[in-house]
Structure 1
Amino acid sequence: MEISFYTCPGCGAGQTFEPAGKAMVCGSCGATNPIEIAVDSGIRKLPLRENMEQFGEMITEGAATEDVRTTTCPGCGAEISIEANTSSGECSFCGGTVTTDVAPHPSLLPHYVTPFAVANQQALDAFRKWLSTRKFAPNKLKQYARQEDALRGVYYPCWSFDADTSTNYTGRRGINRTERYTTKDSQGKTVTRTRTRTDWYPASGRVT
């Protein structure tokens, strides 16, 4: 797996992705550096069994992995990851401070990343606009929304699986039919009405 690190070519500092300009922005000197985003990345499908063995070797050898601390936020119960060289961090879900002494463990780096489509300020403006229409929104939420760092992007992991299976099934299949019948109405007159009946039959087969 090829891993790319985007440091600023001007000062060497770290950069963050800016969705609006499809570019990396240096957090130190403010330089904007465009990057090439693949429209069709040609994502490869990997055989599960073979690659589970490969992943185990990667973790053992430390290849394509990073050490993280995984813990649970005491405020909201979310599971969060903290960099291995720190013992505290901020919960991405509720904003609470989380400290942990859990030992770091290796975590596989993702093969692909889908970049954000909305800039952080755009998302914050939309959130504040929506919140202004909520008369009974909690005051603490309104106060929190005034902060410039009220929203932050979070990457969610996603796994895609395809399966080739054959399944035998047995059961019953119901077929509806409409029948006419006669009865007495509330005035004692004979009337003809319809109703739905379901006839059940044994069913079995194989799905591949």
Structure 2
Amino acid sequence: MSTFTAEEFKEVDEYDASCPSCSASIQFNPANGTLTCPYCGYEESIPQPELDEDRLAQEIQLDEALETGSFDWGAEKKVVICDACAAESVYDALEVANVCPYCGSNHVMESTAENALAPNGVCPFEITREQANENFQRWIKGKWFAPNEAKRKARADAFTGLYLPYWTFDTKTASRYTARYGKHRQVTDRDGKTRTETDWYSTSGFYQEFIDDHLVRATTRYNESILRSVEPFNTNASRTYSKEYLSGYAAERYSIGLKDGWKQAQQDIHSHIEGQISHQVRMRHNADIVTNIHFSTVHSNVTYKYVMLPLWLSSFRYSGKTYQFMVNGQTGKVGGQSPISAIKVTIAVLVTLMIIAIIYVLGEGNFF
């Protein structure tokens, strides 16, 4: 008998694609792009929009978004009654897909709520679990500072397929700027010694750039540095959202809302534009250094997409410690934590110091 009350939890419907041959749960298969039964091999194509332009996720005008707020994990729960075994499972309100812990059936729930936006795009898994493991083995073997024993013996724990929420933003930017740039020149004094002097100049200008699909994570639950290391994703190829792609995987909806996501995007774009302006000034004036960049940017025709992006999560143990890593489910790129050999680091430092010493001696002309 259930111990949950209506005031504590909200019951929601779940979708579980079932195999018509053996009634088992079928799941999305990255190898062939179909819903596949892991038991009898039955395959079912995912319905696609008739028009080609409708098959890709469409941009939405930012100023037309109705719900822009953020959410907190753990603030609300929901109950899913499994269609296969009738067991009750409790999920966080932000989870939109998972697997029944009792019978293994797929639970794909509503991807939105009354006060939230629905995803309009998804990049399906293209890398299989087996390929993710192969990429991990190549990645750990390529870590120069990792202990040799770890390279030989590291074995990944079970891989978890997960769709994470992201925002993408398109914007036309127009920036007016002022800056100072310097040109170095060599000066020889009376004693024949040379030194570098810099002549400074002021400049101003105008810079324009179209930013396409700038990516912003819509969750704070996972290691940010690892997530950055497995980016980018090809979000321009994201397909129109369909719940079938989530079958067999975990997924969550956004906790960082559209408003906060756009604030983060503006900060990222500001840093990017500053670098581009510095590059433009260097090229135009053949400058050696650029400083004191001040600029203001106007954004126009801002659009967004809310997309679900695929990741494989796993970890491995070495010398009693657990190291987490991720594999980009679209590109196969691996990033994460790995053990470091103190001996190898020491050798690298000593070799570097020797090289610096040799260069110094040669520069002083005292080699012989």
TM class, shorter-length: 0.5 to 0.7
Equivalents in 2 of 1:174, 1:130: separation in Å?
42
Q: Which deviations, in whole Å up to 9, do the C-alpha atoms of 1:9-39 show, x marking residues without a partner?
A: 5466542111112221125654222446788
Matched with 2:300 is none
SS, match of residue 124 in structure 1: helix
Per the alignment, residue 27 of structure 2 pairs with 16
Q: 1:121 aligns with which of 102, 117, 130?
A: 130
Conservation of the 8 A alpha-carbon contact between 1:168 and 1:204: yes
1:149-188 matched pairs, under 5 angstroms: 150-169=158-177, 171-184=178-191
What residue number does 1:95 align with?
none
Q: Tell me the equivalent position of 1:193.
A: 194
Deviations 1:149-193 (A, max 9, x none): x10111122222122444443x43213042432242xxxxxx263
CA distance in 2, matches of 1:28, 1:177: 71
SS in 1 for 2:35: strand
Identity %: 23
In the superposition, the TM-score normalised over structure 1's length comes to 0.53
Distance 1:69 1:83, change over 3 A: farther
2:118 matched to 1:109? yes
Is contact 1:15–1:25 with CA below 8 Å preserved after alignment? yes
Distance 1:154 1:198, change over 3 A: farther
For residue 175 of structure 1, what is the amino acid of its counterpart? G
- The structure that is helix-richer by fraction is 2
**CA separation of 1:115 and 1:37: change in aligned 2, threshold 3 A:** farther
- 1:176–1:199: 8 Å Cα contact kept in structure 2? yes
Mapped to 1, the partners of 2:77 and 2:30 lie a distance apart of 24
Q: Residue 135 and residue 12 in structure 1: after superposition, are their counterparts in 2 closer, same or farther (change >3 A)?
A: same
Question: Which piece of structure 1 moves more, 8-17 or 35-44?
Answer: 35-44
- The one-letter code matched in structure 2 to 1:178 is R
Query: Could you tell me whether the CA contact under 8 Å between 2:58 and 2:120 is conserved in 1?
Result: no
- Report if the CA contact (8 A) 1:176-1:197 is conserved: yes
Decide whether aligned partners of structure 1 residues 205 and 10 sit closer, same or farther in structure 2, where only a CA change above 3 A counts. Answer: same
The secondary structure found in structure 2 opposite 1:44 is coil
Match of 1:87 among 86, 90, 93: 90
Separation of aligned partners in 1, 2:139 and 2:77: 31
Q: Distance in 1 between matches of 2:78 and 2:132?
A: 26
Quickly say closer, same or farther: Cα 1:142–1:82, change in 2 above 3 A. farther
Q: Determine which structure has greater relative contact order: mean sequence separation of CA pairs < 8 Å that are 6+ residues apart, divided by chain length.
A: 2
Name stretches of at least 5 consecutive residues in structure 2 with no aligned partner.
Answer: 1-14, 81-88, 93-111, 209-368
Q: Give the Å deviation of 1:47.
A: 1.0
> CA RMSD of the aligned region, Å?
4.4
Give the match's secondary structure for 2:160. Answer: coil
Q: Distance in 1 between matches of 2:199 and 2:48?
A: 57
- Partners in 1 of 2:135 and 2:205 — Cα distance? 52
Structure 2 length-normalised TM? 0.33
